[in-house]
Amino acid sequence: GQQVMQIPQYQHVQEGEDFTTYCNSSTTLSNIQWYKQRPGGHPVFLIQLVKSGEVKKQKRLTFQFGEAKKNSSLHITATQTTDVGTYFCAGQSYNTDKLIFGTGTRLQVFP
């Protein structure tokens, strides 16, 4: 079945440093979504990517969808303490109606 892996599992950074998490799917995706979950909270939608090679930006966050539509990345520039949380990618394969989540990357930012 479809599998979605994320690396790294954990990342600790000093405030102001950059952060990147990578997402890899075992199958080609029709679209990929990214979510953020604060400690003790529920996942909150950040963005959706649909096109091969697509790049989208939200302030300090940059999202990329790979050319083969099997991988994606989230890059945060100059992290802040408010960026703390777990970041998940979630992908839908072609011809399925399931959204499979990645294993997540937990980000800790030290002031």
Partner 1 sequence: NAGVTQTPKFQVLKTGQSMTLQCAQDMNHEYMSWYRQDPGMGLRLIHYSVGAGITDQGEVPNGYNVSRSTTEDFPLRLLSAAPSQTSVYFCASSYWGGSLDTQYFGPGTRLTVL
Q: Which residues bind partner 1 (CB under 8 A)?
A: 1, 6, 9, 30-31, 33, 35, 41-45, 48, 88, 90, 92, 97-104
CB closer to partner 1, 36 vs 70? 36
In angstroms, give the least distance from the CB of 23 to partner 1.
11
In angstroms, give the least distance from the CB of 61 to partner 1.
16
In angstroms, give the least distance from the CB of 71 to partner 1.
16
CB closer to partner 1, 16 vs 38? 38
How many other CB atoms are there within 10 angstroms of residue 82's CB atom?
A: 9
Residue 84, H or E segment: none
Give the span between the Cα atoms of 53 and 9, in whole angstroms. Answer: 24
- Quote the tokens at residue 75: 């890059």
- Residues 84, 109: contact at Cβ < 8 Å? yes
